[in-house]
Amino acid sequence: MQEAIPYRRWETRIATPSVDRNSNRDEKNAAERVRSLVSENAVLVVGRRGCCMCHVVTRLLLSLGVNPVVYELEEEDEEVGVVVEEISGGGDPRLQFPAVFIGGRLVGGLDQLMALHIAGDLVPILKKAGALWL
Predicted confidence (pLDDT) at residue 87 exceeds the cutoff of 70 = no
Mean pLDDT, the chain, as a whole number? 77
For residue 72, give every residue at least 6 positions away whose Cβ sits within 8 Å of its Cβ, in sequence order, or none: 14, 15, 16, 17, 47, 48, 49, 54
Whether the Cβ atoms of residue 93 and residue 44 lie closer than 8 Å to each other: no
pLDDT at position 28, please? 62
pLDDT at position 127, please? 94
Predicted confidence (pLDDT) at residue 131 exceeds the cutoff of 80 = yes
pLDDT at position 9, please? 44
Q: pLDDT band for position 39 (50/70/90)?
A: confident
Alpha-carbon separation of residue 30 from 20, 71, 72, 101, 134 (angstroms): 10, 11, 12, 17, 34
Predicted confidence (pLDDT) at residue 19 exceeds the cutoff of 50 = no
Ranges assigned E (strand) in the chain: 14-15, 43-48, 69-73, 99-102, 105-108
Between 60 and 1, the more confident residue is 60
pLDDT at position 2, please? 59
Cα gap 132→48, rounded to integer Å: 26
Map out the domains of the chain with their CATH numbers.
14-129 (3.40.30.10)
Beta-carbon count within 10 A of 132 CB? 18
pLDDT at position 51, please? 86
pLDDT at position 15, please? 59
Cα gap 62→52, rounded to integer Å: 15
